[in-house]
Amino acid sequence: MEYHLHVTADAIAAHLSKGFRIERIDLNGARTPYPVGFVQTALDDSQCLWGTRSEYALLATPLDMPAAQDAGAILLIPYNDGGLISVSHDRGSVPLGNAKPADWFAATAEPFQKLCRPWL
């Protein structure tokens, strides 16, 4: 898995607007379609967490991806100290821009990754 911390949402939102389906996934498992334009909202939400864990993540899957495949899926989790953590299988599937590696976030991402099976 690849983990990166993003402090801006522009590059990710532009990438996702090119053919991704986005769902908001709550920790209780509820799923809601989410517009690409609200990726910035998720980044803004991260500024208000004040050290607490986000109650949701965004799962982005390519529109042309069969449900059984995992290639190309991206999980975005609002980070409690500001920013978005991207989780993906493939190096290069997320535009990095000024993102920094965030392998230290792997254990924290686990509850969301379980909810995103079979994609992550």
Give the strands of the sheet with 2-6, arranged side by side.
Answer: 31-33, 20-26, 56-62, 74-78, 84-88, 2-6, 100-101
Give the count of beta carbons closer than 10 Å to the beta carbon of residue 25. Answer: 19
- The predicted model scores a pTM of 0.86
pLDDT at residue number 68: 47
pLDDT surpassing 90 at residue 84: yes
Distance CA 7, CA 19 (A): 23
pLDDT surpassing 80 at residue 96: no
pLDDT at residue number 15: 87
